[in-house]
Amino acid sequence: MNAFEREVKTLSFSNEGLDRGVVEESMYPWDKTVAAWDAQGLKTGFLDKVHFATLPTDNLYAYNAPYEPWENYYNTMMTEPVFEHESHFAFDPVKRICFRIPFISFDEEIREETDSYVIKRDRDGWIRKYPKGKGLVEDIRPVVTDEEDWEKLKAHVQEQIRIHLTPEHMHQAFDKYAEGCKRGDYVVRLRLQGFFWCPRDLFGIEDHLYAYYDYPEVLKDIARFQLDIYKEQLDGILKILTPSLVFFEEDFSGKNGPMISPELFDEFVVPCYQEIIPFLKERGVANVFLDTDGDFTLMVPNILKAGLDGVLPVDVNAGVDIVEVRKQFPTLKFFGGFDKLAIIEGKDAIEAEIKRLEPVIRQGGCIICTDHQAAPHTPLENYRYYVQRLHEVMCECCLLYTSDAADEL
């Protein structure tokens, strides 16, 4: 059984032909955690290659060395560093890739400078005020405030697509993973920005929510723009390689629940997924997940209506319990759900967390891992024990999938 087949089978609800369940992490490692573990003797070289975002316009991670502008969009900057890092823990092999629409593509431009601050247009088109010395960055103006702004931005992005998103650059980014993906030496996981996330980046959090009432047609046009670009670009990317899993970043929930109502989600977001998911599945993608922190449980019926297979990373510390959610929604898949804070506490807490999650593992349709990045004060020894126990449990429990496992929930 190769890596692709094993992950797909682990995320199914059957153990037929499954030799063992996969052990993977949902998220990139946190640089502060890696630094702490390096001090405890890990020494993966991860931080020699990449750095974590420090500015609003940075990628989540980027090379320490110089790179070409198109690499921001056909993005494989984290692919090898994370792959090598995870190999030290014997995780199942995953190559993480990313595609970004080139919204972050402006030249920086200083608008005003004094002895105490600088006001500039950033790479994402926002105007911000940066203090010289201590202080917080102040957002002055987002890149989109109305329909006119959106039309200007759309024209700008179309020109960036013409310049940077060429077939040559696409092949340069992804060809190197084609054969290994085809053989099943590893799975490829593709990360995309979702249809709630993207306009939030353009309007800002508060103005984005008002825009559902003030500029609904602009939001629908942004979604249409995303869909058209995704279809054009992903058609090419998926001819090169086939991700086992695609996930869309949304982060529409906080600890107290969603930031968008189910009704608005159905009107503005669900149709986008109902269009893009069949497109992906027709090209061989096995699972399409939604990425949101916080408590998403109110939105599960809408998530399923959208055609999404599952949710990650299932934020335990926002009160989400996959055992309880599975009782109500037995077809929803999970990637995550293990309380990362239990790892800090040590072996007894890890064992208790495994015991809590075992009925869901036995049902299938899940890859159990941390509910977000391990925290910097997580002892390396504890994290190694957590990974070791996941390997043991995914061997034991995935071979014990039972049709009546739901009765144990």
Helical (H) or strand (E) element with 291: strand 287-291
Given the structure tokens 């995935």, which residue do they identify? 398
Q: What's the whole-number mean pLDDT along residues 100-127? A: 96
Q: What angle do CA 322, 324, 325 make, to 5 degrees?
A: 60
Q: What's the whole-number mean pLDDT along residues 261-281? A: 98
Give the predicted TM-score (pTM) of the model: 0.95
- Whole-angstrom distance, CA of residue 171 vs CA of residue 166: 9
Instruction: Tell me 79's DSSP state.
Output: H
Residue type for position 12 = S
| Residue 74, token pair as written in the block | 């056909």
Tens digit of each residue's pLDDT (9 = 90 or more) over 351-386: 999 999 998 998 999 999 999 999 999 999 999 999
The answer on pLDDT for 407 being more than 60 is: no
- From residue 33, give the alpha-carbon distance in Å to each of 45, 117, 181, 206: 13, 32, 29, 31
Cβ 7 vs Cβ 245: under 8 Å: yes
Given the structure tokens 């088109």, which residue do they identify? 125
CA dihedral 322, 328, 330, 334 (to 10 degrees): -30
The answer on pLDDT for 147 being more than 80 is: yes
Helical (H) or strand (E) element with 191: strand 187-193
Q: What is the pLDDT of residue 65?
A: 79
The answer on pLDDT for 58 being more than 90 is: no
Q: What angle do CA 229, 231, 232 make, to 5 degrees?
A: 65
The answer on pLDDT for 349 being more than 50 is: yes
Q: What are the backbone angles phi and psi of residue 290, rounded to the nearest 5°?
A: -105, 135
| Concatenated DSSP letters of 113-152 | E-SSEEEEE-TTS-EEEEESSSS--EEEE-S-SSHHHHHH
The answer on pLDDT for 406 being more than 50 is: no
Q: What's the whole-number mean pLDDT along residues 258-272? A: 98
The answer on pLDDT for 317 being more than 50 is: yes
Tens digit of each residue's pLDDT (9 = 90 or more) over 31-47: 899 999 999 999 888 98
pLDDT band at 204 (very low <50, low <70, confident <90, very high): very high
The answer on pLDDT for 400 being more than 80 is: no
Helical (H) or strand (E) element with 325: helix 322-328
The answer on pLDDT for 55 being more than 70 is: no
**Per-position b or e across 158-176, b if 16+ CB within 10 A of its CB:** eebbeebbeeebbeebbee
Report strand pairing: 366-370 vs 109-113. Answer: unpaired
Cβ 6 vs Cβ 23: under 8 Å: no
Residue type for position 164 = H
313 alpha-carbon distance from chain centroid? 9
| Residue 283, token pair as written in the block | 């090209």
- From residue 3, give the alpha-carbon distance in Å to each of 20, 145, 400: 11, 45, 20
Considering the chain, what percentage of its residues have pLDDT values greater than 90?
86
Q: Which of 217, 72, 56, 97 is nearest to 157 (CA)?
A: 72
Q: Name 4's Cβ contacts closer than 8 Å, sequence gap at least 6.
A: 181, 184, 187, 242, 244, 286
Cβ 76 vs Cβ 50: under 8 Å: no
Residue type for position 184 = G
- Whole-angstrom distance, CA of residue 247 vs CA of residue 230: 13
Q: What is the pLDDT of residue 51?
A: 77
Q: What is the pLDDT of residue 50?
A: 83
- Whole-angstrom distance, CA of residue 43 vs CA of residue 35: 9
Q: What's the whole-number mean pLDDT along residues 93-122? A: 96
Q: What is the pLDDT of residue 49?
A: 87
